[in-house]
Amino acid sequence: MMGSIRIGTRGSPLALAQARMVATALRDTHDWGPEQIEIVPITTTGDIVRDRPLAEIGGKGLWTKELDACLGDGRTDISVHSMKDVETFRPESLQIAAMLPRASVCDRLIGAESLEALPQGARVGTSSPRRAAQLLARRPDLVIVPIRGNVETRLRKLGKGEADATLLASAGLERLNHPDTGVVLDDFLPAPAQGAVGIEVRASDRRTRSLIAAIDDRATHLCVGAERRLLEGLGGTCRSPIAALARLDGGEIHLRAEIISPDGSEIVRCEERFAAEDTETPLALARALLARASPSLRALFAG
C-alpha cells in the first residue's frame, strides 16, 4: 500500500533537522519515496516571543499549541517534538507514538575549556533555571545572564560578546553540524528528556499510529517516559530546576535525578533502579525528593 504523511514541525533549523531525521527513518522503514513525505513548518508562540526568558513568559504549550492545532484538525498527520520542550500533560486526543533513538544527552560548555577555566565572575548566558542552578552550585561567583533564541542565534550572541560562555545541549549542536563546538559537561545531569525526539499522532488515527510505532526506539521511550513521570510527580514547570536521566540496563531502568535551588546552594539528589514497566517508582522518587528539600526549594514545585 502507498503511504503518505505530513510532518508538522517548528521551523527552527534544529526542529527541521529533527523532522528530516523522522522522514528518513520512515522512508527507510516503510520503503517510501521522498514524494510521500511532506514537512510542514509551523510557527509557534515560542518562536515569536523571542527576547524574554521563556520561564518569564510562562503559559503552557509555547512550542506545541500550534502544532497540536494542525495535528488535531488533520492539516498534519504527525508532530515532531524535542521531547524536552513538550509539557508533561498532553491533550487526551494526542499520543506520543514513538521516539527516535536518543542522541547525546549532555550539555556542552562553549566559551571555555572547562568550568574551572572560566575567569572569576565570568558571565554565562543561559535562560534555563536548571543550567543556572547547576552552574552556580559549582561556581557561585559566575554571573548568569539571560540569552535566548535558537542554537545558531545563541552562538552568534556569544560571538558578539553578550556572554563569556554558554551551555547548549550536545544533541542540538550535533544535529546542526557543530559536533566539535564546546566541551561536554558529563557531570551535569541533563534536563528530563534532553536529546530525545518524539513523534505525536492523533490517538484516533490507527493507520498513522502503527506506521509510526514501527520506528519507535523502545529504550529511549522507556527512559524518557520515566524522566517525564518524575517531572509529573514533582509538578515541574519551566521555572523549576530539575535534572533527570534514565538509562535502560537489562530490563531495569536506572534513574538519577536532582532538584536544585536557583542559587545552587541546595541540591537534593536521588538514584534508583526499578523494573522498566514500573511507572509508580518515579512518582515515589519525586515525593522523596520533595520530602528532603527545604521549604523554600519545595515551594518551587506544584507537586
Q: Smaller CB distance to ligand PBG: residue 17 or 270?
A: 17
C-alpha–C-alpha distance, residues 92 and 94, integer Å: 5
Buried/exposed 238-247: b ≥16 CB within 10 Å, e otherwise: bebbbbbbbb
Q: Smaller CB distance to ligand PBG: residue 245 or 255?
A: 245
CB of 62 to ligand PBG, least distance (A): 10
Q: Which residue ranges make up the site for ligand PBG (CB under 6 A)?
A: 82, 84-85, 151, 168-169, 171-172, 194-195
Q: Which residue is nearest to ligand PBG (CB)?
A: 172
CB of 195 to ligand PBG, least distance (A): 5
Q: Smaller CB distance to ligand PBG: residue 30 or 90?
A: 90
Q: Smaller CB distance to ligand PBG: residue 81 or 202?
A: 81
Q: Which of 47, 68, 77, 85 is catalytic?
A: 85
User: Exposed, middle or buried: residue 177 (CB in 10 Å: 0-12, 13-18, 19+)?
Assistant: exposed
C-alpha–C-alpha distance, residues 243 and 195, integer Å: 13
And the C-alpha cell for 159? 560571538
CB of 294 to ligand PBG, least distance (A): 28
C-alpha–C-alpha distance, residues 32 and 50, integer Å: 37
CB of 99 to ligand PBG, least distance (A): 11
First and final C-alpha spacing in the chain? 47
Stated length of the chain: 303
> Does the annotation count 85 as an active-site position?
yes
What is the set of active-site residues?
Answer: 85
